[in-house]
Amino acid sequence: MKLFMVELSVPDVALSLDWYQTLGLTVAKDDSANGFILLNAAEGHLALKRGSPSPGTTAVVFEVGDLDKAIETLEKRGYKPIRPLKTDEEEGYREIAFHDPNNYEIRLFDWID
C-alpha cells in the first residue's frame, strides 16, 4: 500500500497553487474550473480542493534537498517561520515550520549529513 495524496481544502486555489509551486511542487492535473489541482510532490501528491479550510488539524511535512534555500525563498516572498529552526542532532535532522496562505502548518526538514 502507498499513500497517494493529501487533500487540503482551500478557499483560493490559485493563491495556494502559487505558494506550493514556490516549494517546487509541479502540477499533475489541473481541473481549476472545478476547483481542484493535483500537485506532484516527489513520490506522492498534494491535492488543493476549493472548500473551507480547517487548519490546526493537519500538518504537511516535506523533506527538502536544501532547507536553507527553501527558507530563504519563502522569506523573500514574505512568509515568516512560525517557530525557530530546530536542529535535532540525536535524530539527525533540521526542521522549520511555516503557515501556508490558508494557515495550514507546513513543516520542511532535511537530514544532517
Domain boundaries, the chain: 5-51+58-111
pLDDT tens track for 53-84: 887 777 788 889 899 999 999 999 999 999 99
**Are the C-beta atoms of residues 51 and 9 closer than 8 Å to each other?**
yes
Query: What's the rounded Cα separation, in Å, for the pair 95 and 25?
Result: 19
The three-point CA angle 26-49-85 to 5° equals 60
Query: What's the rounded Cα separation, in Å, for the pair 94 and 14?
Result: 30
Task: Determine the topology of domain 5-51+58-111 in CATH.
Answer: 2,3-Dihydroxybiphenyl 1,2-Dioxygenase; domain 1 (3.10.180)
Rounded to the nearest integer, the mean pLDDT of the chain is 90
Query: What's the rounded Cα separation, in Å, for the pair 58 and 15?
Result: 19
Model confidence, pTM: 0.79
pLDDT given for residue 52 in this prediction:
86
